[in-house]
Structure 1
């Protein structure tokens, strides 16, 4: 049996709108979508390495897995799939390719230098609804994961908003250009892809060849 996982984005949580939407849609197909809390109760010491290792430990042994991931969760999914052959498909929503390049541009060199000097930066956490300190090890650790290292050939679906000013769509276009196993949809949306979840769900059903809803199952509004 295939295991399905949804990996939420940076400074988000399993309670995000997209996480709940896709959980309910998978449930309507008689499937369980596991949504781990990548914060692990300690967002302040978050690293990409920690997220990758957390997801790897959750994968069922000797069973295929499909990973869905949003933003940094998408980057996490891509790296888990690179390292774990039991991952047979990935669905990436505005994946955070070349994350440090884009964040450097947004933060500026002065703010980055201050982060390195003090060791801490105040980051708004959408899941908690407040600012939370984030250790600079997060930034250093992300430097170990260059997108060029993602070379495993496996079915990959990417949805990215044309108007994404957090992770520009060009990052996904560049990723897909040299990887013929990647299907990229550019959608009329921003980084959240919030106005395109129904279209993405339609694509996921086809891409993952999901079973139809069980007879007698209650249909969900989209």
Structure 2
């Protein structure tokens, strides 16, 4: 049986609107969707490496198949996991945060970034807690170790990304898909939240994750 794991975005949680919608859709099919809390009770010391290690501990041993569904920074995490673990047979990436620092840091400005370096912490709005939480500068230095252009394992990947994404531009996914023939990119008329395209997202996930298996079963 295939395991499904949903990875939420940066400063989000398994209780986010998107996570809840997908959880309900999977529940209607009697298919478990595991939604780990990537905050790990310590958002202040979040890193990409920590997220990867946390999800690695949840993966069933190979060759038991797993499909990862990742949103934004969770999508970036899923891409790295898919590159490393053969039991991950498919990826669904929702507005994945490819080139995350390249897009995020310029918006902070040099003064804020320098203050972050000097003090060690920068306050980030956390959507679950609806408050500012200090994030350690190690988040930056850890992320700088990862170059997503080297991801080359040909794991079948579905990317859904909004044309009007104001956080991670659509062309980040476009560039990623352009050199990887195993990636299918579906543009959506939406922003980074993808909150107005639930039906389109679910139809694409069903087709990508379930229909080929159903076809094989009939044969």
In which range does the TM-score fall when normalised by the shorter chain?
A: over 0.9
Instruction: Please report the RMSD computed on the Cα atoms of aligned residues, expressed in angstroms.
Output: 1.1
1:150 Cα deviation from its structure 2 partner: 0.9
Q: Distance in 1 between matches of 2:188 and 2:203?
A: 13
1:148 partner SS: helix
Hey, what's the Cα distance between the residues in 2 that align with 1:196 and 1:147? 27
- 5+ long unaligned stretches in structure 2: 215-219
Aligned counterpart, 1:109: 110
Q: Which string of whole-angstrom CA distances, capped at 9 and with x for unpartnered residues, describes residues 104-128 of structure 1? A: 2211122111111110000000011
Deviation of the 1:32 alpha carbon: 0.1
Q: Which residue of 1 aligns with 2:16?
A: 16
Query: What is the DSSP-based 3-state SS (H/G/I as helix, E as strand, rest coil) of the residue aligned with 1:167?
Result: coil
The answer to whether residue 162 in structure 2 is matched with residue 171 in structure 1 is no
In structure 2, the residue matched to 1:35 is 35
TM-score by length of 1: 0.93
Deviation for aligned residue 1:129: 0.8
Q: Shift of residue 149 of structure 1? A: 1.7
| Residues in 2 aligned to 1:82 and 1:115: alpha-carbon distance in whole angstroms | 31
Instruction: Name the structure 1 match of 2:217.
Output: none
TM-score computed with the length of structure 2 as normaliser: 0.95
Residue 84 (structure 1) aligns with: 85
- Matched length: 212
- The equivalent residue for 1:215 is none
What's the CA shift for 1:94? 0.4
Deviations 1:79-107 (A, max 9, x none): 01111111000000000000010012211
2:135 equivalent in structure 1: 134
* 1:51 maps onto 2:59 in alignment: no
Residue by residue over 1:139-191, the C-alpha shift from the partner in whole angstroms, topping out at 9 and shown as x without a partner, is 11011111112111011000011111100011000000000110001111000
Residue 30 of structure 1 deviates from its aligned partner by: 1.3
Following superposition, the deviation at residue 198 of structure 1 comes to: 1.2
Determine if contact 2:70/2:76 at 8 Å carries over to the other structure.
Answer: yes
Unaligned regions of 5+ residues in structure 1, if any? 213-222
Secondary structure, in 3 states, of the residue corresponding to 2:74?
Answer: helix
Tell me which stretches of 4 or more aligned residues in structure 1 moved more than 3 Å. Answer: none
